Amino acid sequence: MKSATHHSEEFDVVIVGGGHAGCEAAMAAARMGARTTLLSLKSSRLAQMSCNPAIGGIAKGHLVREIDALGGIMGQIADRTGIQFRLLNSSRGPAVQAPRCQSDKSKYSNEMRIEMEWQENLFLQDAEVSGLILEGNVVKGVQLSDGSRIQAKAVVIATGTFLNGLIHIGNQSRAGGRISEQPSVLLAENLRALGFCIGRLKTGTPPRLDKRTINYAQFEEQKGDPNPTFFSTKTVSCTLPQISCHLGYTNERLHEVIRANLKRSALYGGFITGIGPRYCPSVEDKVVKFSGRERHQIFLEPEGLDADEVYINGLSTSMPEEVQQEMVRSIPGLEKARIIRPGYAIEYDFVIPTELHPTLETKKASGLFMAGQINGTTGYEEAAALGIVAGINAALKARRQDPVVFPREESYIGIMVDDLVTRGVDEPYRMFTSRSEFRLLMRIDNADRRLTPLGHSLGLVDDAHYQEFLKKYQEVDQLRDFMKGHRWNREIECPGLESQLDANAVKGSTLEEILRRPGINVEDLAPLLRAHSRMPSCVAVRNAVEIEIRYEGYIQQQMRDAEKIRRISSRLIPLDLDYAQMDGLSREIREKLKKVQPKDLAMASRIPGITPAAVSIIGIYLEMRQAGRKNSFKKPET
Amino acid sequence: MNDQSDSICALSTPAGRSGMAVVRVSGEKSFQIVRSIFSPAKHFESPPARLAMLGRIVDPVDGSVMDEAVAICFPSPHSYTGEDMVEISLHGNPVLVATLLDFLCTCGARIAEPGEFTMRAFLHGRMDLTQAEAVRDLIEATTRRQAQAAAMQKSGTIALQLKPVKERLIEIIANLESAIEFVEEDLPLRSREAVVEQLRGLQDNLGKWIDSYRQGKIIRDGFSMAVVGSPNVGKSSVFNALLAQDRSIVADAPGTTRDLVSEYANMGGIPVRLMDTAGIRQSNDPIEQLGMERSQQAIADSDAVLLVVDSSQQPSSEDVDLRNGIELRTCIIVVNKCDLPSLWTLEQMERFADRLPLVVVSAKTGSGMEQLRAAVFNGIMGTPAGWQDGIMVTNLRHCRCLENAKEQLERAASALIGGMSEEFALTDLHEALKSLGEITGDTHVEDVLAKIFANFCIGK
């Protein structure tokens, strides 16, 4: 294990915080060759899963695939420590399918730590950062609470829920970043003092139960997929034994307990000011807001293979501990269940994300980046995705190279960053596939096609892997061309196929047309493809070809729409554009533009409240400026 | 922000009736678009630059001829906008203009925003600074107009009436999105059949409003109606009776009305421009011939025709010719002079009318004139479907948005019926929402999410 103990040392990149965002940022920066240190309160506890023991899911699984395609780490660690894999939406179209796994929490954390310890250029340290060192508006390093300093060319803050964290259980509140861990108060004060616009959010967790006190016979078993779908293209098989989860329901008795004790819940007792996510309501919320429902689902999810702790997904609560006990015991099968740790709600500070450029660098301080929950998001996957963006750009900053911006029309990562920096947030931001205007283009199967070339050019994807990627898509493109051009000769090729097709669809059909018939897949054409030495070598190629051919019409349509956005996005807005000079814009619109500082016309048009006419006016000023005729548009002196 | 790569079209002469109207098309595809609706009298391999081509405007769908017109192509960069541009000159009739714009949109153009031609000209460097200042002012004016329009939307216009439809669409979207995003949640979702049925309901709504566009246009722009017939059947008397004033010269000698006489009459609150025409017959008198030419033109230009016949005379071959010539048009048969003994049998009248509405009047005594007014009103307004709901679409751009939305709903419904996964139907539904958003103001995905979280208890 390498470690850096000289506190006067200078680094290219300093990462503050060892959660999912911090780890991904640190790995990316170090792999790109930046001398990087990751500072956390406890470096033996990296990449903790403070909430549910699972990674992925719809839209979140998409993010993990994208991180993997870029050369990030989350996908590999999740695959290695997964104890149940399921492909969600497997009965739907390819664009909304996404993998999810149950994880062994402690193994996840361990694997991540080992990976990071072995990473060249990366140094882990236990330290509490108390403030930033700035010269003018340029960040120069961080100040530690023990009085020492670390110099850096770029700093990434990824403090998660630790920034002024406040934990609530019933009417008891105490400062904390996670249960029984200290919050980061000094840094929060420092950020406020530097003038960052800070908001407050809330999230919560359910109680953890002792596995040995649960009667599983009362629950419905849920197994994983027999043929797991992994996150990383590098993974070939499961590493760990696979387990089941269990499904059960709340009942009227439990709802009655909640209603009787509602005033004692931190949320309904008025102890919490932060805003919680609507899609992750506490069970109190569910009972109050959906009083018509007789029951709500709960899932029992083991926290690990050897762990005694079981996570009750669906029972997030901030009730006092004795009420939680009563709630749990009203569920059949949990009559004797023992709570190991009670559920709690946590409030924390976040920096309003419109303070950030799309590179995740702050507008106030050059060289200062922010990633993860501090940006107003929720979820491990969202955090990791922001982490890799911040890590990449911090490393580029340290090298004085141009930053990378992820276009909205190419990835969920791009959508998330764009949503955050143009719209801000009023509740913890979670990724949904419906946030994408180009959902059919952003699939898990083509995450590599969308992002691996970028990952390779940044040095995050190694040459060997990149060659494999090129080979795969060469094969895809060749097979597509072949199927477009080749007409099926039914007398001599694939005679069995005819019975699967309706008669009038057959005559003179190309293989492409045949593949578009319902129920036909590449496998059905195998004898023909083999005869022409065209049978794809792997499932990934087969999938890609089937998807691209089957949904071509829809995909083409969305590609045209994406192209339109791309054209408007190519009209860049210089950062020094003076909106105050622009006649014809209302004061309100000018202020919005000044705050968000859109980087191009398309982004400007996405800012809430910006009218199409306002965008046209900016467009005209840009043209004027380009033509060097800037002054002629000034208002005449009166 | 509007895409600069779209081809745009607009009427560039003042709206309303005039001798000539000029419609401009600008953009990369403008030649291609015009080619599909304009058939030149002479064949050209490629669009000739700055040459006036005589030809016909044809319906791109069924190929029927709408009007004669002159088209001039201005290849880039030597045009007003600096893009490929076409100017089409046609007869200055609002109905023809609207139809032409409609054809152009069908072929891929879109209706230009106010000031868009000028803005493009500026962006392509076709203007000097003073002109650019004017553009800026224009866009400022647009901003103000949009502010006014937004204010109007709050006070009970089309946008307000569209709101519930949009709400229902958002709800459908939220329902389908929930199925995708929260697949493991135990949500009370609607069946596919139910969703398709809801979509059909929305399509019906939009359909009614699209139909109301024609009626809406009539209310705004008015409506023209030519009074035609053989000489001396009493066209001018009918005309005057409808106007309830003496405007046309009325005399017994055939051919009194040699020029066009037009006047606005109020029919149920709708301004109807009535045109009294010269009688149609064989004649060698050059002045009378000129009058008849104008009459033919008036018949061609008008939205509808009142064909007047004289029941005190035997049906003439001219009556029959006229009747046959206007078969396809909105027409009302007016059997005049019922104060005199009728030489037409009831059967003859019915055969002559052949399903067209027929009203028996005496312009002289005023008998039957109320029925005629009612028939004119009904003829103009057609089946007043949207009209009855108090919904009236009066803006061509709005009408296009509604048509697009309706088509997108149709595609979504067929995707669902065809067993496609929800996200495919949703692609079209989000587009439909965007189309409606162009009328009512945008809807962001957050609105959909808000609906999901309000309707369903999400969160494991």
Residue A320's SS3 state is coil
Task: Kindly report, residue by residue over A352-363, the tens digit of the pLDDT.
Answer: 999 999 999 999
A314 and B CB contact within 8 Å: yes
Task: Please report which residue ranges of A82-208 form alpha helices under DSSP H.
Answer: 105-118, 185-193
For B421, the closest of A96, A586, A614 (CB atoms) is A96
**Shortest distance, CA B125 to any CA of chain A (angstroms):** 9
Cβ separation B180–A293 shorter than 8 A:
no
Give the pLDDT score at B246. Answer: 46
Q: In the structure, what pLDDT confidence band is assigned to residue A495 with cuts at 50, 70 and 90?
A: low
Contact residues, chain A, for B444 at CB < 8 Å: 608
B128 vs B250, more confident: B128
Residue B306's SS3 state is strand
In whole angstroms, give the CA distance from residue A456 to residue B107. Answer: 44
Task: Kindly report, residue by residue over B382-395, the tens digit of the pLDDT.
Answer: 544 434 445 566 66
Q: How far is CA B168 from the centre of its chain?
A: 28
Contact residues, chain B, for A433 at CB < 8 Å: 180-181, 423
A11 vs B278, more confident: A11
In whole angstroms, give the CA distance from residue B1 to residue A614. Answer: 9
Task: Kindly report, residue by residue over B381-431, the tens digit of the pLDDT.
Answer: 654 443 444 556 666 777 888 999 999 999 999 999 999 999 999 999 999
A50 and B CB contact within 8 Å: no
Radius of gyration of chain A (CA): 27
Q: What residue ranges define each of the domains in chain B, with the CATH number in brackets?
A: 8-123 (3.30.1360.120), 144-216+391-454 (1.20.120.430), 222-381 (3.40.50.300)
A23 vs B343, more confident: A23
| Chain A interface disruption, residue of B184, B186, B414, most A CBs within 10 A | B184
CB contact at 8 A, A387 and A28: yes
| Chain B interface disruption, residue of A616, A630, A633, A634, most B CBs within 10 A | A616
In whole angstroms, give the CA distance from residue A41 to residue A16. Answer: 9
CB contact at 8 A, B25 and B86: yes
In whole angstroms, give the CA distance from residue B153 to residue B439. Answer: 9
Task: Compute CA distances A446 → A67, A79, A95, A464, A482, whole Å.
Answer: 12, 19, 10, 19, 20
Query: Which range among A54-68, B104-118, B213-227, B358-372 shows the weakest confidence by mean pLDDT?
Result: B213-227
Which value, to the nearest 10 degrees, does the dihedral of the CA atoms of residues A206, A207, A213, A214 take? -10
Counting other chains too, the contacts that A307-310 makes at CB distance below 8 Å and 24 or more residues apart are A307/A104, A307/A105, A307/A106, A307/A211, A308/A210, A308/A211, A308/A212, A308/A340, A309/A208, A309/A209, A309/A210, A309/A211, A309/A340, A309/A341, A310/A208, A310/A209, A310/A210, A310/A211, A310/A214
For residue A557, what is the nearest residue in chain B, using CA coordinates?
A: B427
Contact residues, chain B, for A299 at CB < 8 Å: 460
Element (H, E) at B409: helix B396-417
Inter-chain contacts counted by CB atoms under 8 A, chains A and B? 137
Best CA proximity match to B190, nearest among B181, B179, B206: B179
pLDDT at residue A262 is higher than 70: yes
Neighbour count for residue A485 (Cβ, 10 Å)? 10
Task: Kindly report, residue by residue over B298-323, the tens digit of the pLDDT.
Answer: 777 777 888 999 988 888 888 888 88
Which value, to the nearest 10 degrees, does the dihedral of the CA atoms of residues A110, A111, A113, A114 take? 120
Give the pLDDT score at B220. Answer: 57
Q: What integer is the mean pLDDT of B163-167? A: 87
A92 and B CB contact within 8 Å: yes
Contact residues, chain A, for B5 at CB < 8 Å: 564, 567
Cβ separation B445–A434 shorter than 8 A:
yes
For residue B2, what is the nearest residue in chain A, using CA coordinates?
A: A612
Residue B197 tokens, joined: 């049925």
Relative to beta strand B109-111, strand B85-92 is unpaired
Relative to beta strand A98-103, strand A54-56 is antiparallel
Contact residues, chain A, for B412 at CB < 8 Å: none
Give the pLDDT score at B366. Answer: 86
Backbone torsions φ then ψ of B437, nearest 5 degrees: -60, -30
For residue A616, what is the nearest residue in chain B, using CA coordinates?
A: B1
Angle at A540 between CA A534 and CA A546, to 5 degrees: 65
Residue A110 tokens, joined: 């361990």
In whole angstroms, give the CA distance from residue A576 to residue A622. Answer: 12
pTM of the model: 0.78
What residues are paired with A362 via a beta bridge?
Answer: A356
Residue B220 tokens, joined: 């705004």
3 state SS for A541-603: HHHHHHHHHHCHHHHHHHHHHHHHHHHHHCCECCCCCCHHHCCCCCHHHHHHHHHHCCCEHHH
CB contact at 8 A, B117 and B64: no
Query: Which range among A313-322, A394-403, B159-168 shows the weakest confidence by mean pLDDT?
Result: B159-168
Query: Which range among A8-22, A440-454, B364-378, B425-439 shows the weakest confidence by mean pLDDT?
Result: B364-378
Give the pLDDT score at B454. Answer: 66
Q: How many helices (H) and strands (E) does chain B have?
A: 15, 13
**Shortest distance, CA B140 to any CA of chain A (angstroms):** 5
Query: Which range among A181-190, A572-581, A593-602, B282-291 shows the weakest confidence by mean pLDDT?
Result: B282-291
Quick one: what percent of chain A has pLDDT higher than 70? 95
A601 and B CB contact within 8 Å: yes
Q: How many helices (H) and strands (E) does chain A have?
A: 19, 20
A612 and B CB contact within 8 Å: yes
For residue A59, what is the nearest residue in chain B, using CA coordinates?
A: B181
Best CA proximity match to B307, nearest among B326, B286, B294: B326
Residue holding tokens 């000094």?
A186
Element (H, E) at A368: strand A368-370
For residue A315, what is the nearest residue in chain B, using CA coordinates?
A: B460
Angle at B8 between CA B2 and CA B12, to 5 degrees: 120
Best CA proximity match to A168, nearest among A261, A89, A274: A274
**Shortest distance, CA B27 to any CA of chain A (angstroms):** 15
Residue B299's SS3 state is helix
Give the pLDDT score at B245. Answer: 52
Cβ separation A286–B459 shorter than 8 A:
yes
Residue A310 tokens, joined: 């079981």
Residues in chain A, total: 638
Q: How far apart are the first and last CA of chain A?
A: 71
Contact residues, chain B, for A59 at CB < 8 Å: 181
Best CA proximity match to B263, nearest among B283, B240, B296, B285: B240
DSSP letter assigned to residue B280: P
Angle at A114 between CA A111 and CA A117, to 5 degrees: 150
Q: In the structure, what pLDDT confidence band is assigned to residue B269 with cuts at 50, 70 and 90?
A: low
Q: What share of chain B is helix, strand, coil (3-state, %, to 5)?
A: 45, 20, 35
CB contact at 8 A, B371 and B336: no
Cβ separation A623–B123 shorter than 8 A:
yes
Give the pLDDT score at A637. Answer: 40
A105 vs B43, more confident: A105
A101 vs B14, more confident: A101
Query: Which range among A2-6, A481-485, A603-607, B318-322 shows the weakest confidence by mean pLDDT?
Result: A2-6
Angle at A529 between CA A523 and CA A532, to 5 degrees: 170
Mean pLDDT of chain A: 91
Contact residues, chain B, for A623 at CB < 8 Å: 122-123
Backbone torsions φ then ψ of A116, nearest 5 degrees: -75, -35
Angle at A190 between CA A351 and CA A43, to 5 degrees: 80
Task: Please report which residue ranges of B154-285 form alpha helices under DSSP H.
Answer: 158-181, 192-221, 235-243
Residue A80 tokens, joined: 């290695």
Backbone torsions φ then ψ of A327, nearest 5 degrees: -60, -50
Q: In the structure, what pLDDT confidence band is assigned to residue A117 with cuts at 50, 70 and 90?
A: very high
Residue B425 tokens, joined: 């139907």
Q: What share of chain A is helix, strand, coil (3-state, %, to 5)?
A: 40, 20, 40
Q: How far is CA A450 from the centre of its chain?
A: 16
In whole angstroms, give the CA distance from residue A77 to residue A85. Answer: 13
Ramachandran region, residue B72 (left: φ > 0; alpha: ψ -120 to 50; beta: rest): beta
Contact residues, chain A, for B129 at CB < 8 Å: 629, 632
Contact residues, chain B, for A633 at CB < 8 Å: 133, 136
Contact residues, chain A, for B184 at CB < 8 Å: 88, 297
Contact residues, chain B, for A95 at CB < 8 Å: 423
A485 and B CB contact within 8 Å: no
pLDDT at residue B435 is higher than 60: yes
pLDDT at residue A602 is higher than 60: yes
Give the pLDDT score at B45. Answer: 81
pLDDT at residue A211 is higher than 90: yes
The contact set of B with A (CB < 8 A) is: 1-5, 113, 119, 122-123, 125, 129, 132-133, 135-136, 139-140, 142-143, 146, 177, 180-181, 183-186, 419-424, 426-427, 430, 444-445, 448-449, 453, 457-460
Q: What integer is the mean pLDDT of A397-425? A: 96
In whole angstroms, give the CA distance from residue A150 to residue A241. Answer: 43
